[in-house]
Structure 1
Amino acid sequence: MTTSKKDLREYLQDHLLVGDGAMATQLHALGAPVGVSFEELCLSNPRVVHEVHASYYQAGARLLETNTFAANRDALSRYGLEHKVARINRLAVAIAREAAQNDAYVAGSIGSILAGRVKKKVLDEYRDQYEEQAIALLHAGVDALILETFLDLEELLLAIEVIRPLTEVPIIAQLATLEVGRTRDGYALTDAFPQLKKAGADIIGLNCRLGPAEILRSFESTIFPDDSLLSAFPNAGRLGMTDGEYAFKSSPEYFAESALRLRDQGVRLIGGCCGTTPAHVKAMADALAAQKPKARVNPPVPQGERPHISVQSLREREKPSIVDRVKTGTTIIVEFDPPRDLDAEQFLEGCCELHKAGADAITLADNSLATVRMSNMALGALMKNRHGIDPLLHLACRDRNLIGQQSHLMGLHALGIDQILVITGDPSRFGDLPGASSVFDVTSFDLIRMVKQLNEGISFSGRPLKQKAQFIVGAAFNPNVRNLAAAVARLEKKVEAGADYIMTQPVYDVESIRQVYEATKHIGIPVFIGIMPLTSSRNAEFLHNEVPGIKLSAEALERMKRVQGPAARQEGIAIAKELLDEAIRYFNGIYLITPFNYYEMTVELIAYVRQQSALVKMAQP
């Protein structure tokens, strides 16, 4: 196959073109260890990179991608190589050009900077990095730029927006999808590809993540803009364990058959991604050698309005949420920690007493202080279904990866538990199983956004769901800090991410209550001010000196020192009531935290809040 080195766009009008296969797969096969920067090999071992390019050229590939997929500042900084971006990209082009023998196109590879990580709301920080890498590749003389493995349409559009004004060379823009037909950020491919073309992409298509069959299904179900030049670089099937080693399953023969099917869909540039080898490329090149390109024929346009990203859930809340309630009057959330053993009955008895006393919702921590407790999901289901009590569950970032988090939330939805509080969670090493791993796949900001994405009917991976979730999402706020302004700025980001209400750490002086009100009154969502009664002088000293996020006033510490035994709890209740007198003046939301599961103390405080709130309401004109 000869290209005669026409402009790539012109060549694809009348020809099929075979691309190369996986660079990392081949470098690893040739001895490059896992855990190093494969892109850096352009500096330290250019021979092995040239060997990979040459093997694909000899197999029949006539578009070679530079070894620069992750040669951006963000990725290279993980190896201390951020100052070598330009040099690595320039040398990579020279190595590929030598292997191309003036008979193959050299495309400068630019990968996603997010690279599968949780999507940030603002991607503008990546602009300079795309520009830096693209300029280096362009100055080195590439025939095209290939932007590949972008899970999010919005990031790919940003990259094109930055790069298109820099050059007239062809831009190949390839999305990678976790599900057939839809991007991770929720765009149907039928909607995504016109945006890529409008932004300035010359060739549009898919690569990575999926194998030939699912890539083919994506093309079969997508409506492409007229006259689109299409590309496809599938993985060699799904990654799995074979004979004790991870391997891709698809054979070269299967790839050859798949290449013909992709050609039938109007695809003109066909290569391979993860797991593909020169044998796969040779099989494709041989199968396509005598073939001409086919015109793209789109599937029929669905009749009527195309289905939206999801349909409205038929589930409706049985009761008003705490956000609805707090708008109409004083609303009380009570925290009551799950037990640390296998007996749930005493816990449920306490819940019933708190509910009977007038708690609007009972909130259950998610292994607080990294200490193992009974599942708050199981207890929440028992509370709701057995006793009709409205649970509000904490959801920590610490214990579950993204798979577990979405699965957990889907389970909560199925149980009708819709009120949650998203928190970071204390590190595992500080808990009762210090050898346990802390996951922290996402921050609390990320998780809030992703929960709200479920409310839009979109899974974490971007797959449309048949129902929309209805989560009411809370966020935590710690006012017991030196720099309150910085804490409020962090809180504002949580509100921007989608938080519906705020729950504060406990406060222990009247002035702090006023400060919290003044600092948060502008944010526009309900704030539940935290109050936790003290139980003893030792309890007070422990909280003040050892527990993160809690600070007691000197007066509270001194008062607790003066009492012992049962009188200490009564003094703790008295201090809490004084704080509540002030809190009721400023906040409709009260968050009572039960110490050591002494629910009798909280029952008394619930009654006090109800009584004082009624008096305040009566006194209003």
Structure 2
Amino acid sequence: MNSVKLREYLQKNIVIGDGAMATLLYQFGVPVGTCYEELNITHSALIRSVHESYIQAGAKLIETNTFRVNRDILSRFGLEQKVEEINLAAVKVAQEAIALAKSQTYIVGSIGSILAGRVKAKSLQPYRSFYEEQASALLKGGVDGIMLETFEDLEELLLALEVMRSLTDQPIFAHLATPQVGRTRDGYTVTKAFELLTKAGAEIVGLNCRLGPTEMLRTLEQAQVPEEAFLSIFPNAGRSGLVDGMLSFKSTPEYFAEYALHLREQGVRVIGGCCGTTPEHIRAISEALKALSPVVRENPTLKDSEQTHVQPEVKDRGIVHNMAQTLTEILPKPVSQAAEQGTILDRVRRKPTVIVEFDPPKGLDTEPFFKGCQTLSASGAAAITLADNSLANVRMSNLAIGALLKERYGIEPLIHVACRDRNLIGQQSHLMGLHALGIHQILVITGDPSRYGDLPGASSVFDANSFDLIRMTKQLNQGISFSGEVLNQSARFIVGTAFNPYVRNFDSAIKRLEKKIEAGADFVMTQPIYDVETLRVIYEGTKHLSIPIFIGVMPLTSQRNAEFLHNEVPGISLSEEALQRMRGLKGEMARQQGIAMSKELLDKAIQYFNGIYLITPFNYYEMTAELTEYISKFS
């Protein structure tokens, strides 16, 4: 037992929390779909070893492995009668780990959101009994406090907090998981949310999951925190991505240590890690903050608009179920010269050609988007390429916005098609619709998993992978449907594929690219490149390929933007030189440096490749327009 209560300890100390449980177990080989919490009973030694590793790394606060141990979620595994048993076992395992480590460490009972990004029912009141049942078991087991974590909706978190306060006077952590910087899913600013949570009885308010260190720091820099509340932050290890078929997170322990110091400066009192973090991340945090005292937070002055609550209209989102279907193997035919005329393929074979990515709007106002597209087209862009809800964040349909772009302004769209959101029925229907609208240039991508976007309750479909979808799209060009039926007309799609050079095994990535070309890919678009050496490596690795390569270039906008891309976004790496050149820069000065660096890179890129793929950062289309005009001098 700790001689000093958690509440008292928080008054004078920075508390190091633990890191992820589920993603660490996944790394150990526990498959997705397992009830990780049942392991408290069936494999208690494994869970105990995870707790021990975090304690040995410097954690002074560990969470029980009970994130989903409520009657609602356990019913999915047929375990709804074991709510108390699993919660009690989890507390016992944590206590045993502390005893073995001979450490003065606190235990908080982890309680996660039940709504968890799903469509909200008319009333959340039925959840009350689920929270009460779980919390009662954790308190019976002897925890030092309760951690309510990963709540995207403030309304649900307030309900859970109300239940906790009716059961205990122990410290309660109230953690939001915001799908975007500064605002909850149900429309509250973090400032307002922290205010309401503190009034409702939360002593520790904060953020966990969804965002990495950079975006959580940005959130705090834009928020006001009640003076009486302690601040707690548990970031993800950046954004997730698939590496060699395995879920992976990018942020290093060293990066976490650096941002732990920044978070301390914001007055954060409890610092740990969420998805993707490991004992090494916690050890780095612990070392960085060793012997440092807490900092009294100074709240920023906010605009009125940053303190308001905007209640969005919530509409029903249907659940799309996976379907299994045998894919017909048909060798795709190459694109004919007639089909190429007027396309980016036709143009890039003759002269330097630029395509520019410009994200569709997040809201309903399309005027700024079309204004940007007109500027980009006037600067010389051969096509505007439109992402398909990239990073699994909802934007306006790229089919609809692309059709308007073509019809109203005569600007050629290049539409991304993700495997994630549509089953095979929806995919063929979507492609047929694009064809009917006269949109024939597409980029087929896998798509980021839904659980890491702004609607994590949505299903990820993945009836087909990118190889399959490329092959089946080219099958439509032969006048044959996905199911093998003969169509009354042949499509004439030109299909692009993505290439990420920043992988552990570059040769394997090239072989994978070759297979995509065998499946029918007509051109390649790469992830953004930031150094000449990577350009050279890509050229040497792809010069034997018969299809055009469009080299990705995305100008940097600030030091923080550079650090975020390098440390938190899968598939992007910056050279040390690029990071150094952005050091200390922000605002217009930083953007001008970003443009200058991109021009230097383009000077080299155009020596190797005719295709340039410019990616517009943060809707700064003026930056990519300037770079597009710059490339025109090579024509």
TM-score, normalised via structure 1 length: 0.51
2:71 to 62, 70, 73: 73
- In the alignment, the residues of structure 1 paired with residue 182 and residue 240 of structure 2 have an alpha-carbon distance, to the nearest angstrom, of 20
Q: 1:95 maps to what in 2?
A: 93
Per the alignment, in what secondary structure is the counterpart of residue 161 of structure 2? helix
Contact (CA 8 Å) 1:66, 1:96: kept in 2 or not? yes
1:408 to 387, 397, 412: 397
Cα deviations by residue, 1:284-311 (Å, 9 ceiling, x for unpaired) = 0111112100001101233x66575579
Q: 2:168 maps to what in 1?
A: 167
Q: 1:152 maps to what in 2?
A: 153
Contact (CA 8 Å) 2:186, 2:311: kept in 1 or not? no
Q: 1:266 maps to what in 2?
A: 267
Instruction: Specify whether residues 435 and 191 from structure 1 end up closer, same or farther in structure 2 by C-alpha distance, changes over 3 A only.
Output: closer
Q: 2:140 maps to what in 1?
A: 139
Contact (CA 8 Å) 1:5, 1:105: kept in 2 or not? no
Instruction: Specify whether residues 414 and 14 from structure 1 end up closer, same or farther in structure 2 by C-alpha distance, changes over 3 A only.
Output: farther
Per the alignment, in what secondary structure is the counterpart of residue 39 of structure 1? helix
Q: 1:190 maps to what in 2?
A: 191
Alignment of 1:104-143 (within 5 A): 104-143=105-144
Cα deviations by residue, 1:429-455 (Å, 9 ceiling, x for unpaired) = 9xx9599899xxxxxxxxxxxxxxxxx
**Residue identity (%):** 54
Q: 1:382 maps to what in 2?
A: none
Instruction: Specify whether residues 295 and 75 from structure 1 end up closer, same or farther in structure 2 by C-alpha distance, changes over 3 A only.
Output: same
- In the alignment, the residues of structure 1 paired with residue 134 and residue 308 of structure 2 have an alpha-carbon distance, to the nearest angstrom, of 37
Instruction: Specify whether residues 410 and 105 from structure 1 end up closer, same or farther in structure 2 by C-alpha distance, changes over 3 A only.
Output: farther
Q: 1:380 maps to what in 2?
A: none
Post-superposition shift, 1:119? Answer: 2.5
Q: 2:28 maps to what in 1?
A: 30
Q: 2:545 maps to what in 1?
A: none
Cα deviations by residue, 1:350-387 (Å, 9 ceiling, x for unpaired) = xxxxxxxxxxxxxxxxxxxxxxxxxxxxxxxxxxxxxx
Q: Partner amino acid for 1:142?
A: V
Alignment of 1:606-621 (within 5 A): none
Per the alignment, in what secondary structure is the counterpart of residue 143 of structure 2? coil
- The reply on whether 1:178 has 2:176 as its aligned counterpart is no
Instruction: Specify whether residues 405 and 63 from structure 1 end up closer, same or farther in structure 2 by C-alpha distance, changes over 3 A only.
Output: closer
Q: Partner amino acid for 1:272?
A: G
Shift >4 Å, 4+ stretches: 304-312, 400-406, 409-416, 432-438
Q: Partner amino acid for 1:95?
A: V
Q: 2:508 maps to what in 1?
A: none
Instruction: Specify whether residues 63 and 405 from structure 1 end up closer, same or farther in structure 2 by C-alpha distance, changes over 3 A only.
Output: closer
Q: Partner amino acid for 2:396?
A: S
- In the alignment, the residues of structure 2 paired with residue 410 and residue 12 of structure 1 have an alpha-carbon distance, to the nearest angstrom, of 52
Post-superposition shift, 1:115? Answer: 1.5
Per the alignment, in what secondary structure is the counterpart of residue 267 of structure 1? coil
Post-superposition shift, 1:117? Answer: 1.5
Alignment of 1:335-414 (within 5 A): 407-408=396-397, 411=400
Instruction: Specify whether residues 134 and 301 from structure 1 end up closer, same or farther in structure 2 by C-alpha distance, changes over 3 A only.
Output: same
Contact (CA 8 Å) 1:30, 1:48: kept in 2 or not? no
Bigger Rg, which one:
1
Q: Partner amino acid for 1:154?
A: E
- In the alignment, the residues of structure 1 paired with residue 233 and residue 64 of structure 2 have an alpha-carbon distance, to the nearest angstrom, of 17
Cα deviations by residue, 1:540-592 (Å, 9 ceiling, x for unpaired) = xxxxxxxxxxxxxxxxxxxxxxxxxxxxxxxxxxxxxxxxxxxxxxxxxxxxx
Q: 2:231 maps to what in 1?
A: 230
Instruction: Specify whether residues 143 and 437 from structure 1 end up closer, same or farther in structure 2 by C-alpha distance, changes over 3 A only.
Output: farther
Alignment of 1:581-600 (within 5 A): none
Cα deviations by residue, 1:388-432 (Å, 9 ceiling, x for unpaired) = xxxxxxxxxxxx99969752399589979xxxxxxxxxxx99xx9
Q: Partner amino acid for 1:251?
A: T
1:53 to 51, 54, 61: 51
- In the alignment, the residues of structure 2 paired with residue 311 and residue 45 of structure 1 have an alpha-carbon distance, to the nearest angstrom, of 44
Q: 2:298 maps to what in 1?
A: 297
Contact (CA 8 Å) 2:2, 2:106: kept in 1 or not? no
Contact (CA 8 Å) 2:394, 2:454: kept in 1 or not? no
Contact (CA 8 Å) 1:185, 1:461: kept in 2 or not? no
Q: Partner amino acid for 1:44?
A: T
- In the alignment, the residues of structure 2 paired with residue 4 and residue 437 of structure 1 have an alpha-carbon distance, to the nearest angstrom, of 62
Contact (CA 8 Å) 1:107, 1:146: kept in 2 or not? yes
Instruction: Specify whether residues 83 and 250 from structure 1 end up closer, same or farther in structure 2 by C-alpha distance, changes over 3 A only.
Output: same
Contact (CA 8 Å) 1:153, 1:192: kept in 2 or not? yes
Instruction: Specify whether residues 409 and 261 from structure 1 end up closer, same or farther in structure 2 by C-alpha distance, changes over 3 A only.
Output: same
- In the alignment, the residues of structure 2 paired with residue 247 and residue 186 of structure 1 have an alpha-carbon distance, to the nearest angstrom, of 30
Instruction: Specify whether residues 55 and 401 from structure 1 end up closer, same or farther in structure 2 by C-alpha distance, changes over 3 A only.
Output: closer
Structure 2 gaps of 5+ residues are 313-388, 406-421, 431-452, 456-635
- In the alignment, the residues of structure 1 paired with residue 311 and residue 37 of structure 2 have an alpha-carbon distance, to the nearest angstrom, of 44
Post-superposition shift, 1:245? Answer: 3.0
Contact (CA 8 Å) 1:211, 1:235: kept in 2 or not? yes
Cα deviations by residue, 1:106-141 (Å, 9 ceiling, x for unpaired) = 000000001122223311110100000000000000
Contact (CA 8 Å) 1:64, 1:100: kept in 2 or not? no
- In the alignment, the residues of structure 2 paired with residue 78 and residue 125 of structure 1 have an alpha-carbon distance, to the nearest angstrom, of 17
- In the alignment, the residues of structure 2 paired with residue 272 and residue 412 of structure 1 have an alpha-carbon distance, to the nearest angstrom, of 39
Q: Partner amino acid for 1:175?
A: L
Coordinate RMSD, CA, aligned: 3.3
- In the alignment, the residues of structure 2 paired with residue 223 and residue 404 of structure 1 have an alpha-carbon distance, to the nearest angstrom, of 26
Contact (CA 8 Å) 2:54, 2:282: kept in 1 or not? yes
- In the alignment, the residues of structure 2 paired with residue 138 and residue 124 of structure 1 have an alpha-carbon distance, to the nearest angstrom, of 22
Q: Partner amino acid for 2:75?
A: S
Q: Partner amino acid for 1:298?
A: N
Contact (CA 8 Å) 1:212, 1:235: kept in 2 or not? yes
Post-superposition shift, 1:143? Answer: 0.3
- In the alignment, the residues of structure 1 paired with residue 61 and residue 80 of structure 2 have an alpha-carbon distance, to the nearest angstrom, of 28
2:38 to 34, 37, 40: 40
- In the alignment, the residues of structure 2 paired with residue 217 and residue 257 of structure 1 have an alpha-carbon distance, to the nearest angstrom, of 15
Contact (CA 8 Å) 2:204, 2:230: kept in 1 or not? yes
Contact (CA 8 Å) 1:5, 1:104: kept in 2 or not? no
Per the alignment, in what secondary structure is the counterpart of residue 37 of structure 2? coil
Q: 1:604 maps to what in 2?
A: none
Q: 1:83 maps to what in 2?
A: 81
Per the alignment, in what secondary structure is the counterpart of residue 147 of structure 2? strand
Per the alignment, in what secondary structure is the counterpart of residue 194 of structure 2? helix
- In the alignment, the residues of structure 2 paired with residue 129 and residue 197 of structure 1 have an alpha-carbon distance, to the nearest angstrom, of 23
Cα deviations by residue, 1:443-500 (Å, 9 ceiling, x for unpaired) = xxxxxxxxxxxxxxxxx949xxxxxxxxxxxxxxxxxxxxxxxxxxxxxxxxxxxxxx
Per the alignment, in what secondary structure is the counterpart of residue 396 of structure 2? helix
Cα deviations by residue, 1:12-71 (Å, 9 ceiling, x for unpaired) = 111011000000122222332221100000111101000100000010101010000011
Q: Partner amino acid for 1:172?
A: F
Post-superposition shift, 1:74? Answer: 1.2
Structure 1 gaps of 5+ residues are 313-399, 417-427, 439-459, 463-621
Instruction: Specify whether residues 437 and 40 from structure 1 end up closer, same or farther in structure 2 by C-alpha distance, changes over 3 A only.
Output: farther
Instruction: Specify whether residues 169 and 307 from structure 1 end up closer, same or farther in structure 2 by C-alpha distance, changes over 3 A only.
Output: closer
Q: 1:242 maps to what in 2?
A: 243
Contact (CA 8 Å) 1:64, 1:104: kept in 2 or not? yes
Q: Partner amino acid for 1:24?
A: A
- In the alignment, the residues of structure 1 paired with residue 227 and residue 393 of structure 2 have an alpha-carbon distance, to the nearest angstrom, of 41
- In the alignment, the residues of structure 2 paired with residue 103 and residue 311 of structure 1 have an alpha-carbon distance, to the nearest angstrom, of 44
Instruction: Specify whether residues 433 and 15 from structure 1 end up closer, same or farther in structure 2 by C-alpha distance, changes over 3 A only.
Output: closer
Contact (CA 8 Å) 2:192, 2:308: kept in 1 or not? no
Per the alignment, in what secondary structure is the counterpart of residue 180 of structure 1? coil
